[in-house]
Amino acid sequence: MKTITLDGNPVTDNSPPPDDAGWFQKALNRIFGLHSNGYSKFRIVYGQDLSEGRALDWDHTRHIWRARYILYTSKKSELYLPKGEMVFRTRWVYEDIGVPRWFIERYIPPEIACRGWVVKGIDSEGDYFYDPKPVKGLYESFADSMIADHTPWCCAEATERNELCYGTYRAPDDADLDAVREAKQAMDALRERRPGPTTADEAEAARRRSQERYDKWTRSLRDEAAAIVHDGLKVHQSALSEDPTVVKHGRYHFLGKGHSKSGLSKEELREMQKKDRIIISEKK
């Protein structure tokens, strides 16, 4: 791949940042604070800082760390001897060149980042992947996080080439702090309009509320079912009688001459009523 030129110079390797952003990080910590585990809720990273824990992402199919903000990548094949094997194999070695710009990132704590995390399996393309849980949390780009100076024509030229516009390099300043603060306020306002759990405590509270609604719903179903059964017994209790004439002619067979279809005498009816009362009392 041909070398990319930014700020009038070809970018051929990953270099240290030209400015110290320590003061900016302290300002972020002062404004937004730290998580309970000590990690900054917001941080600033240099796109070419590929040291551990910085501007890196885990490639779960190749099982290697890659630059998060890649300007371009060169790769070459090499022979290696897998552990425990006797045969050399070929693998691709990637060299990522990061974007020489500052980026703002926000912290996702482990109780949120690890929720529903799939460690290994087969992806949609049929490839095996391994993606260890971010047990210490992870950082992700926040809003339009790249810090750079832009002009209307540089963005127009990049759009015409179907490329991302990197503008020209500049050091972070107070205006960037204000931009991060405004973006955070807009995010909080959106969250108020569309509430949802964002912490473990909020997620647990939401789960409890959901369980309470479900329990209330199931209780109402049980009450409704009991009422239906009770009403059915009142209407169809004659079907439970041991007297076939009661089953055939209904519960009001004992009303007497002109009303009884059972054909029983009054003495027989009284005797049958006595038995019915005994059966009912035993059921109670």
- Taking only the tens place, the pLDDT of each residue in 211-241 is 777 677 667 767 777 777 666 666 666 666 6
The whole-model pTM stands at 0.62
Q: Are 58 and 65 within 8 A, CB to CB?
A: yes
Within this chain, do residues 153 and 213 fall inside the same structural domain, yes or no? no
Select from 251, 227, 221, 257 the least CA-distant residue to 239.
251
In this predicted model, which residue has the larger pLDDT, 273 or 258?
273
The confidence score (pLDDT) of residue 258 equals 43
Strand-pair category, 70-80 with 89-98 = antiparallel
What is the average pLDDT value for the chain, to the nearest integer? Answer: 79
Within this chain, do residues 84 and 205 fall inside the same structural domain, yes or no? no
CA distance 220 to 62: 53
Within this chain, do residues 177 and 39 fall inside the same structural domain, yes or no? yes
Within this chain, do residues 50 and 150 fall inside the same structural domain, yes or no? yes
* Residues in a beta bridge with 31: none
Within this chain, do residues 83 and 124 fall inside the same structural domain, yes or no? yes
Q: How many helices (H) and strands (E) does the chain have?
A: 7, 11
Domains of the chain: total: 3
Within this chain, do residues 180 and 202 fall inside the same structural domain, yes or no? no
Q: Does residue 200 carry a pLDDT above 70?
A: no
Query: Going by C-beta distance under 8 Å and a sequence separation of 6 or more, which residues neighbour residue 249?
Result: 260, 261, 262
Q: Are 139 and 54 within 8 A, CB to CB?
A: no
Q: Which domain holds residue 253?
A: 241-284
The confidence score (pLDDT) of residue 43 equals 95
Within this chain, do residues 226 and 251 fall inside the same structural domain, yes or no? no
The confidence score (pLDDT) of residue 1 equals 57
Which of 173, 195, 217 marks a domain boundary? 195
Q: How many CB atoms lie within 10 A of CB 30?
A: 9
Within this chain, do residues 203 and 191 fall inside the same structural domain, yes or no? no
Q: Does residue 261 carry a pLDDT above 70?
A: no
CA distance 101 to 170: 8
Q: Are 100 and 48 within 8 A, CB to CB?
A: yes
Within this chain, do residues 65 and 203 fall inside the same structural domain, yes or no? no
Q: How many CB atoms lie within 10 A of CB 106?
A: 20
Q: Which two tokens stand for residue 269?
A: 């009816």
CA count, 13 A, side-chain hemisphere, 56: 16
In one letter, which amino acid is 236?
Answer: H
The confidence score (pLDDT) of residue 259 equals 47
Strand-pair category, 42-46 with 9-11 = unpaired
Within this chain, do residues 38 and 175 fall inside the same structural domain, yes or no? yes
Within this chain, do residues 252 and 270 fall inside the same structural domain, yes or no? yes
Q: 3-class SS at 248? A: helix
Q: Which two tokens stand for residue 123?
A: 């992806």
Q: Is the dihedral of CA 238, 244, 248, 253 positive or negative?
A: negative
Within this chain, do residues 231 and 91 fall inside the same structural domain, yes or no? no
Which of 136, 170, 195 marks a domain boundary? 195
Query: Going by C-beta distance under 8 Å and a sequence separation of 6 or more, which residues neighbour residue 263?
Result: 245
pLDDT one-digit tens code per residue, 57-98: 888 777 788 899 999 988 888 887 877 788 888 877 888 999
